[in-house]
Amino acid sequence: MPTSEHLILRELLAHESNWVSGAALAVKLGVSRVAVWQHMEKLRAAGFTFEAQRARGYRLVARPSAPHAVLIETQLKVHPRGFSLLVLDEVDSTNDEAARQLAAGRAAPFAVIARRQTRGRGRLGRAWHSEANGNLYVSVAFHPRVAPERMGAFTLWMGLNLCELLANFTSIAPGLKWPNDLLFDGRKAGGMLTEARVDADQIRDLVFGLGLNVNSPAGGWPDDLARRAISLAEVTGAPLDFNRLAAALLGRILLAHENFADGDYTKTFADLWHRYDVLRGKPITLLEGGRRHHGTVAGLDDEGALLLRDTQGRTQRYRAGEVTLEKAS
């Protein structure tokens, strides 16, 4: 159900850089001009900048760079039934918050976005650097209709969809490094963390978490990340419209989940994998459960496991692990 704030923003965005009369907004919303003005003040406090002129009305000049729920919802193009969005200033981890919301009975699908995480988590128990620095921390909760053994392919499918979207958004092609890293120029711009609760042979619910370096400035990384991490703003050379990108990503995640649940994804998976995979044919070391495996990446199997050909020409499959590309000698 759109609120007055949604309706006002929709009008202002539709007339971007043109004037929208306060009287017309009041009629459209069925409220007084004073009520419109109060909404505008609320939007100003949230980081919007407007020009206001008595005779002409309001004109949107700048949007907030921090996550803003109504701005994201207004620009979202995919609307699964019952979808809801929660935007928080700070949380321990959006994946943990999504799990708590599921446990408290919130209907899926829903998304949790935070400006900052105090205990952002990555794969293999690692921390995810989660300052309030213009980056995206989002988790989307689903009740998927898929068998647990297909979950390996789920994260990869999500990654491929995100690569497609980012390639359109930035005009620079990202790469996907199995199983969950989004790369630009060989540096990590994003990571995915999928967590599922499984009952017997059914997935009860699933949380897909994405950390994406959007607008953090070059030089803003801690020392251990400085040479490995990159933000989209560094890639493109200019800050991105955070809420527009967040809405586009969220829409793509929701759509990709539907395609996955329908089984439609199998038609395009291999093509997209060939387009974005950065490992194919490369010599790598895979660290898996404390053991190191060397070999050349031969591809993926149907469940998203990595196929690694060793020096004796034997191919082994691995469902999880940490890949390091070997330096060319």
Q: Interface residues with ligand BTN (CB under 6 A)?
A: 93-95, 117, 120-123, 126, 128, 137-139, 180-181, 191-193, 209-211
Q: Least CB distance from residue 190 to ligand BTN, whole Å?
A: 8
Position with the least CB separation from ligand BTN: 191
Q: Least CB distance from residue 151 to ligand BTN, whole Å?
A: 15
CA distance 248 to 298: 33
CA distance 21 to 53: 9
Pick between residue 138 and residue 279 the one whose CB is nearest to ligand BTN.
Answer: 138
Pick between residue 52 and residue 127 the one whose CB is nearest to ligand BTN.
Answer: 127
Q: Least CB distance from residue 298 to ligand BTN, whole Å?
A: 24
CA distance 222 to 153: 32
The alpha helices in the chain, defined as continuous H runs, are 4-14, 22-29, 33-45, 69-75, 94-103, 151-170, 232-236, 242-262, 269-276
Q: Least CB distance from residue 256 to ligand BTN, whole Å?
A: 17
Q: Which residues pair with 51 in a beta bridge?
A: 59
CA distance 313 to 296: 9
CA distance 191 to 188: 8
Pick between residue 117 and residue 296 the one whose CB is nearest to ligand BTN.
Answer: 117
In Å, what is the CA distance from 104 to each residue of 98, 108, 113, 157, 202? Answer: 10, 12, 18, 29, 20
Neighbouring residues of 30: CB distance < 8 A, sequence distance ≥ 6: none
Pick between residue 137 and residue 273 the one whose CB is nearest to ligand BTN.
Answer: 137
Q: Are strands 110-117 and 202-212 parallel, antiparallel or unpaired?
A: unpaired
> Angle at Cα 230 formed by Cα 225 and Cα 232, nearest 5°?
155
Q: How many CB atoms are closer than 10 A to CB 105?
A: 6
Q: Least CB distance from residue 178 to ligand BTN, whole Å?
A: 12
Pick between residue 194 and residue 296 the one whose CB is nearest to ligand BTN.
Answer: 194
Pick between residue 60 and residue 141 the one whose CB is nearest to ligand BTN.
Answer: 141
Look up residue 210 and give its two tokens: 């994405």
Exposure class string for 221-230: b at 16+ Cβ within 10 A, else e: beeeeeeebb
Q: Within 13 Å of residue 165, how many CA atoms lie on the same side as its CB?
A: 21
Q: Using omega within 30 degrees of 0 as the cis cutoff, is the peptide bond preceding 179 cis?
A: yes
Exposure class string for 60-93: b at 16+ Cβ within 10 A, else e: beebbebbbbbbbbbbbebeeeebebbbbeebeb
Q: Least CB distance from residue 70 to ligand BTN, whole Å?
A: 21
Q: Least CB distance from residue 68 to ligand BTN, whole Å?
A: 18
Pick between residue 95 and residue 161 the one whose CB is nearest to ligand BTN.
Answer: 95
Pick between residue 189 and residue 297 the one whose CB is nearest to ligand BTN.
Answer: 189
Pick between residue 139 and residue 216 the one whose CB is nearest to ligand BTN.
Answer: 139
Q: Least CB distance from residue 135 to ligand BTN, whole Å?
A: 9
Q: Least CB distance from residue 193 to ligand BTN, whole Å?
A: 4
